[in-house]
Amino acid sequence: MSPLSALDAGAGAAAALANLGTSLPTGRTTTQKVTRELETVFLTQLLQTMRKTVPQSDFLPKSAERDVYDGMFDRTIAETIAKQDPLGFDRSLKVSGTPADSPTASKTSTAREGSDEDR
């Protein structure tokens, strides 16, 4: 039973939310997905903002349908660009090597803070 089907079956929101945490993948693939989605959202916003700077013409008049098409187009282009990690989010997490909430990372940040105080 998927977490969403539990909600649809009337089991309640609390039960469905409790099951969500158990079905989420963990590890490197999750980090890649999250960083890629963050880059996609950022690039989509960038493309939409860039589109606003282009003068409008009468060739393709402004309409609700065109807004939907432009949004889908921008999203697709952003997803394609984000696969190449142009902003370096995924690379920067690979370089750090440890998640921010790990004990090793907290020891490192504490050591860095201590060295700043010594100056």
pLDDT, one tens digit for every residue, the chain (119 residues): 444 444 444 445 555 545 555 554 556 678 888 889 999 999 999 999 999 999 888 888 889 999 999 999 999 999 999 999 888 888 887 777 655 544 444 454 455 555 555 54
Residue 39: alpha-carbon gap to chain centroid:
6
Q: Do the domain assignments include residue 22? A: no
Residue 33 domain-assigned? yes
Q: Is residue 74 part of a domain?
A: yes
**What's the predicted TM-score (pTM) here?**
0.56
Q: How far is CA 37 from the centre of its chain?
A: 3
Question: Is residue 59 in a domain?
Answer: yes
In a domain, 43, yes or no: yes
Does a structural domain hold residue 5?
Answer: no
- Whether the CB-CB separation of 93 and 100 falls below 8 Å is answered with no
The total number of structural domains in the chain stands at 1
Token pair, residue 69, equals: 């098409």
Is 3 among the domain residues?
no
Q: Which domain holds residue 57?
A: 27-97
Question: Is residue 70 a part of any domain in this protein?
Answer: yes
